[in-house]
Structure 1
Amino acid sequence: MSESLQTTDVTWSNTQYPTVPTVTDSPFIKLQKDYRKLHGYISCIVCIFGLSSNIINMIVLTRKHMIKPVNFILTALAGADFLTMLTYLVYAAYFYIAKEPIWQANHTYAWMCFIMIHNHFIIICHNMSLWFTVYLAVLRYKFVCNNTFGYREYSLKRTIITVTIISNVILVLCIPNFFMYKVIALSDIVDPNVSGYWIVDSDFVKKHIFYKVSIFWFFGVVMKILPCILLTFFICRIIHTMYRSEKQREQLQEQARLSTHGRHRDNIRTTRMLIAVVLICVLTEMPQGIFALISCLDDRFFEDIYSNIGDILDLLVLFNSSVNFILYCSMSRQYRDTFRKLFSFRTAHCHNQLRQINHTR
């Protein structure tokens, strides 16, 4: 299911058994047909890399000397991203590779239940990831804009409490999604001789049309655009403050600059890395929010464009969930050093075990 469309994905929300798409000259429909054949393989590769890299992130960031407020947020972010891709890997492998095309497969009741669980699960995890990123930007903004304030007020305990609150709030906000859909036998809506199951709007949604519209607005627009606006604001403020700080440092005496030169460079590298994390999040999330907003105002846009690029938007979400490992390795010396020490230690440990085994022989 297209997570980018949140709970209103056209593939599964139809109340009738879908048929093979009508041949048309629309470039977006053609794009959807051509890319759909590749989406399963590409997304599976991204998911496998993302699952592995986020496990590494959690291992590295939870080392004793790495436990800091910002790193705890990055650990929570890695956990949310890991869970986001966990069920998507199964979903992509089955519905895009094993059972392509989807509309011609007689799916079992169990797989339709999996789809519903997957959809709710991925919405919860992805929204947690998004708001963890907002919290990360807020924390770095506090540090950059008031260096004397720093992380002292943002202790590890306070960070853990805040992350827990964000997780619980997102979970509560996502409860209305649980009432959106139900699984139904195709024999009840198509033909008694047709086997298989499908997902349709729940009876509650059919009786309350506005409920589904409200869910779409809240998760498709508000929960996408609002955090992106906040992230953009904090990025601009951080960059502006860094630029102004550099100008002020250039006016200081040479001796004063050199006394904190190494520490200052570490702070700059950390800030740039976090800016990159936040910026990629904005670039992958903002288009979805804008498209969803236009779709709310123009039904034709939803049918002609948005519904045909859902797979591509899903890939952007997966990319955002898997790229942080590359950013950490390329922009954080402390992360690289910790990763290198862990890897070299495990490699040396394995070699020692092999030597002992060979020696006993």
Structure 2
Amino acid sequence: MANFTDMYATAYEVHDATSSVIVDLQETDLIEVTTQGALKTSAIEQFGQSYQRIHGYFSVTVCVFGIVSNVLNIIVLTRKHMKSPTNFILTALAIADMLTMSTYPIMAIYLYIITSPDCMTPQHSRGWMYFILFHNLFIVTCHNMAMWLTVTLAVFRYIFVCQHAIAARLCSLDRAKLTVAVVVVATIVSCVPNYFVYSVQDIGPGLSRNVSCYWIVASQLAQANPTYEQFVRWLFGVVIKILPCVLMAFLSTLLIIAMQQAKKRRARLLNKVSRIVDHDHQSSEHNRTTMMLVGVVVCFIVTEIPQGILAWISAVDEDFWNDVYIHVGDLMDILVLVNSAVNFILYCIMSQQFRNTFKSLFVCNNIPFNLDRKVGKSNGTEYSMVRTETTNV
């Protein structure tokens, strides 16, 4: 029900009393009740049902941590001395991740803890189902926005590392702001087809019940045009999931290769020990920043590629959708939520400037932010090295 890629499993079919009744209510529930009343469950369906029991509690915990950590990210990255094109994109990414998790706890508490994601026992109201529908469409949009912001981050870092001569012009703060605005608008436009696939209906009478139970089902447009539903699956499975992951993997590979080549060049060109030490300090800061951003990208790839591949196969094979995808939807959700929550940990581990800023704001207020670093020489003299790297985090 809350799967980030699709909600096609919310559609339902109700046949007459002499045939099978298939109620496809959400990702983890595909219940086949035959005329003999036999209940058939596969191993993967049993896994989905078992995980569903803990998904609500697990997802709420991850979301609370993720929302708090992304608020901290925004506070730290928007300090005056932290302003840079890269940090502006990271701030936009933190906002998108926070919005992705903002409504999930409400949905999870209602649908997985208080009630259950089906219409077998609970009687879901129209208002709650409209909220669930809004929640799904909202987080799909916000999460796709986060994905393409991560692609943007990889592009900016690639230009800075591999095309340093033009980086100042192409990767300016104004260009970063314009790029983020374009990503936001383009993401909303690309998600528009998904907004017309679903509707809220009372399926209680269709289940031969005397009480109402509202649920999210395929809209009349989707039911009348099966090719439209297939188009949206391809759009989300390939264009919005697999394509950005491929781009991020390609750019990350280029970044790592460029870092290794730069390291070899430094070893060849710098022949004085003192110069090597001084230069390596700047280089290590530069490399840590790049590797931190590569880590952010890799987290996205690891969590998004499985979902994209499953959605892609489901667009081709309807049986795979019914037999596999809908039963692992909650597991795909938790991977996405974890990915949206871990950036704070990556920043703290890999960025000294982020750690120092965080400590100054929340641990102790007397840590000075000196951009100049005193370097001692063997003859007892000192000089200041000014850090001019504008994309440090």
Q: 2:174 aligns to what?
A: 157
Farther-moved stretch of structure 1 (252-261 vs 329-338): 252-261
Farther-moved stretch of structure 1 (232-241 vs 169-178): 169-178
1:344 aligns with 2:363: yes
Aligned residue pairs total: 346
Q: 1:333 aligns to what?
A: 352
1:230 aligns with 2:228: no
CA distance 1:86–1:166, change in 2 (3 Å): same
Q: 1:220 aligns to what?
A: 237
Counterparts of 2:170 and 2:316, CA distance in 1: 44
Q: State which of 291, 304, 314 in structure 1 corresponds to 2:310.
A: 291
1:109 positional shift:
0.6
Q: 2:333 aligns to what?
A: 314
**Mapping for residues 1-361 of structure 1, pairs under 5 Å:** 1-8=1-8, 10=9, 12-16=10-14, 21-22=31-32, 23-24=39-40, 26-100=42-116, 102-103=118-119, 104-187=121-204, 189-191=206-208, 193-255=210-272, 256-345=275-364
**3-state SS of the aligned residue for 2:44?**
helix
CA distance 1:247–1:147, change in 2 (3 Å): same
1:91 positional shift:
0.7
Q: What amino acid is the match of 1:318?
A: L
Q: What amino acid is the match of 2:87?
A: N
Displacement over 6 Å in runs of 4+: none
| Cα deviation code 1:13-60 (max 9, x no counterpart) | 224455873544522111111111010000000000000000000010
**3-state SS of the aligned residue for 2:200?**
strand
Aligned 8 A contact 2:233 2:312 in 1? no
Identity of aligned residues (%): 43
Q: Select the structure that is richer in strand.
A: 2
TM-score, normalized by length of structure 2? 0.84
CA distance 1:290–1:195, change in 2 (3 Å): same
How much is the aligned-residue C-alpha RMSD, in angstroms?
2.0
1:150 positional shift:
3.3
Counterparts of 2:88 and 2:269, CA distance in 1: 34
Q: 2:380 aligns to what?
A: none
- Select the structure of larger CA radius of gyration: 2
Q: Any gaps of 5 or more consecutive residues in structure 2?
A: 15-22, 33-38, 367-393
Farther-moved stretch of structure 1 (97-106 vs 146-155): 146-155
Q: What amino acid is the match of 1:197?
A: Y
CA distance 1:39–1:51, change in 2 (3 Å): same
1:296 positional shift:
2.1
Counterparts of 2:352 and 2:176, CA distance in 1: 23
Counterparts of 1:5 and 1:97, CA distance in 2: 23
1:175 positional shift:
1.5
| Cα deviation code 1:224-267 (max 9, x no counterpart) | 00000000100111111111111111111333534422221110
Aligned 8 A contact 1:184 1:200 in 2? yes
Q: Select the structure that is richer in helix.
A: 1
CA distance 1:106–1:72, change in 2 (3 Å): same
1:220 positional shift:
2.3
TM-score, normalized by length of structure 1? 0.91
Aligned 8 A contact 1:43 1:315 in 2? yes
Compare relative contact order (CA 8 Å, sep 6+) and give the higher one, 1 or 2.
1
Q: Any gaps of 5 or more consecutive residues in structure 1?
A: 348-361
